[in-house]
Amino acid sequence: MRPIAATVTLFLLLPAPARADWHHREAAIMGTRIAVELWHDDPAGAEAALAAVIAEMHRIDELMSHYKPGSQLSRINQEAGAGAVRVDPELALLIARSLEYSRMTEGAFDISYASVGYLYDYRAHRRPTDAQIRAALPGVDYRSIEVNLAESTVRFLRPGMRIDLGGIAKGHAVDRCVRILQNRGIAHAAVTAGGDTRLLGDRRGRPWVIGIRHPDDAARVIARIPLADAAVSTSGDYERYFDEAGVRHHHIINPKTGRSATGVRSVTVIAPSSTLAEGLTKGIFILGPERGIALAESQPEVDAVIVRDDGRVFYSKGLEPPGDE
């Protein structure tokens, strides 16, 4: 393992397109930056594909955003404590998959963290009191979320429960968009939503290059990973946070404590799908280096990079740099 003083996040190192056959679009959706780049022989076909991706991102945001009062997710939070709420099968299935990741991570990933998480406001530098956390914590328990896939319903078995799909919905959206591109015959593309990226094919004979960068200096690259046909997700304590009296309060909440997870600065996961990569990233963050790396290595085609709060970097076996022990 190699100690470094920097934490990491992830971004695509994309050179400017050399030819007009690479087409690109960006938008602000789902509270983050959406970016699509694809290769297409026909400019009109490329524009249609880009528009389809952006439309799909908007559709999923309308369905799954907890910020939108009219979304089905908001209706679940408003009504599921009183009885089963019928929702779109896509949403029910994603919630069921979230519960699978909760079991996989021994509860470290838990969409019901929102029962406490909604009390934080990082822009306003507001956090809940100890008493508020104690009162809200009983609502954090993924085992008390009941999903009936046959009926497409969701029900909460405890009072005061809320869910938030912010830790998996972007990955799901990226996967859906990649499927749209595949159905249109596109073989080379990259779709990004915040810290989640899915790479379709390679970059026309060359790999896509993922950069691991210093979190405080976007111009500093400390490692590069060549990839093709893979998904990458990163989470760090520098994405949404505020510092108070030497303590960093950030958006990755430990479901057991109702407070920001400690001991880790950043996690990057490489997996076959963005849904899996994003679902594992925050769970691994909360599990910590030893248990997190063990979890990554227990999953087929999954790798992880974890940066501990002292700057030490941990790699799963598939990513260990030459010379590391």
Q: Is residue 174 part of a domain?
A: no
pLDDT at 9: 45
Q: Is residue 203 part of a domain?
A: yes
pLDDT at 12: 55
**End-to-end Cα, the chain, rounded Å:** 6
Q: Is residue 158 part of a domain?
A: no
Q: Is residue 306 part of a domain?
A: yes
pLDDT at 222: 67
Q: Is residue 312 part of a domain?
A: yes
Q: Is residue 273 part of a domain?
A: yes
**Each residue's pLDDT tens digit, 258-301:** 999 999 999 999 999 999 999 999 999 999 999 999 999 999 99
Low-confidence ranges of the chain (pLDDT < 50): 1-11, 16-19, 325
CATH of the domain at 232: 3.10.520.10
Q: Is residue 135 part of a domain?
A: no
- Could you give the number of structural domains in the chain? 1
Q: 57 is in which domain, residue-wise?
A: 9-62+187-319
SS3 121: strand
Calculate helix-pair angle for 89-104, 43-64, nearest 10 degrees.
70
pLDDT at 278: 97
Q: Is residue 42 part of a domain?
A: yes
Q: DSSP of 151-177, one letter per residue?
A: TTEEEESSTT-----TTTHHHHHHHHH
